[in-house]
Amino acid sequence: MTDDSSTELPIRDDMIRLGQLLKLASLAEDGVEAKTLIDNGLVHVNGEIEERRGRQLHPGDTISVNGETVRLTRG
């Protein structure tokens, strides 16, 4: 699945957890909002609904929330 409207987001480490990423990418204001988005099935990782806030994400993964898509890159 290729999304030409995705934003690239570089990360320093080899991985980042989903809850942290949502805050870093400004897709959620805080951890509470991140949890709510995930619990309501509004977060997609690589095209599939993700229900784990602690999911490990790596460069190349795409995360979509409410029509906004972020693709992780190595920073």
pLDDT number for residue 5: 77
Residues 9-41 have pLDDT tens digits of 999 999 999 999 999 999 999 999 999 999 999
* Residue 48 φ then ψ, to 5°: -120, 145
- Which of 73, 63, 54, 71 is closest to 14 using CA atoms? 73
**Percent of the chain topping pLDDT 70:** 95
- Mean pLDDT over the full length of the chain: 93
Domains of the chain with bracketed CATH:
7-74 (3.10.290.10)
pLDDT number for residue 4: 57
**Percent of the chain topping pLDDT 90:** 91
Q: Could you tell me the pTM of the whole model?
A: 0.89
Task: Give the pLDDT band (50/70/90) at residue 2.
Answer: very low
